[in-house]
Structure 1
Amino acid sequence: MRIGILGAGNMATALGAGWRAAGHDVMASGRSGSLADAGRFGPVVLLAVPATAAVEVLAHIAPDTVVIDCTNAVTPGFGVEHPYAAITAARPDLRVVKAFNLCHDSVWRQPSRVFGGRPLAVPMCGPASAKEVVAPLVTDLGCTPLDAGGPERAALLESTAAFAIGLWFAGADAQAILQPTHTDSGDSLLTR
């Protein structure tokens, strides 16, 4: 698949390298093309610019493109703004999926994304038709795509990122706050 990447920073580089290794044709702005070249390169565009620049660069993306929004807008004190809402309001003609925003770029640089015997799960929020396009790209990185709901749930995913980043900066093991789906007794956490 042809994937354009708007951005040339750590996330753009890490995810782009992973998709190239999986056999995709990737064009990143600033590295192999301009913003306009990358924004019209293929049916999928990764939006990997600072959240403050996200709306500004949308003009470079062709209509009806599937856009993967991996941006986070964490404010001082580890509050959160919601770039997904601003992106979809500015360009309702795009099919935007919030994904890849929970992990540091170093995770995407690793040769494997299997931890404790389990592949990393990548939550995706957005229109169903767009998530169907993004899910194989998650799988191609050795991860499990996780349908986390429609566009209305993207703000929850952005808030989760801000919450986890705040814990990490405080020196806490943010991953330790979530226990496995089943307890030792076999009871589902959802039935308690």
Structure 2
Amino acid sequence: MSNPDSFIEEVTEEVRRDRLFGLFRKYGWIGLVAILALVGGTAWTEWQKSRDTARAQAFGDALIDALDHGLPEERREALAAVPVRGQQAAILNLILGSDTAGDKAAALAALDAVAGDPTLSPAYRDLAVLRRVLLGGADLPLADRRAALDGIAQVGRPYRTLAVEQLAYLLIEEGKPDEAIATLTTLMQDQEASAALRARAGQVITALGGALPEASDGG
């Protein structure tokens, strides 16, 4: 004779299996969609990475080709024709603003476009401000140059030490060598200042007749 309990278990298991298959037939498409979404999302991400890499490479190649032009007018025209997307425009404008052999007014305008774009990171905007002060030079009022440099010489800004160096040079231009020496001396002891910057500061201090700060034991 068959065991009633065993028979009941077999029937119950069969019912469960039928229910499972029924649920799968009814809702199995959800799992299929989830799998397709996962695979499709991964493929989309990889395609975007590949596309962005290709665009960056094409942008770099176009810049190199444009910079190969010997005449400033040809170089600027070629750079202006380079297609850009997103922050590539900032990079292009920074390059245009660094071409001292070209149109100075156009270079300043390119730098203004970067410095005035709030969507860009401070690394782009502050560099444009610094470059604009250097390019403008004495053609820009000293007060305007100081105000621009003060804004990027604050703690935490990416080009703080370079801005402080330029502020020291403005003091020299104003006929305040002692204040310039004090600023440059502090800059030489600044841990964020590069070795090249410290060397420049030391040379200027010496030229102004100042005394170089003593090297620290850890330096």
TM-score between both structures, scaled by the size of structure 1 = 0.26
Greater RCO (CA < 8 Å, at least 6 residues apart): 1
Greater per-residue helix proportion:
2
Give the TM-score of the pair, scaled to structure 2: 0.24
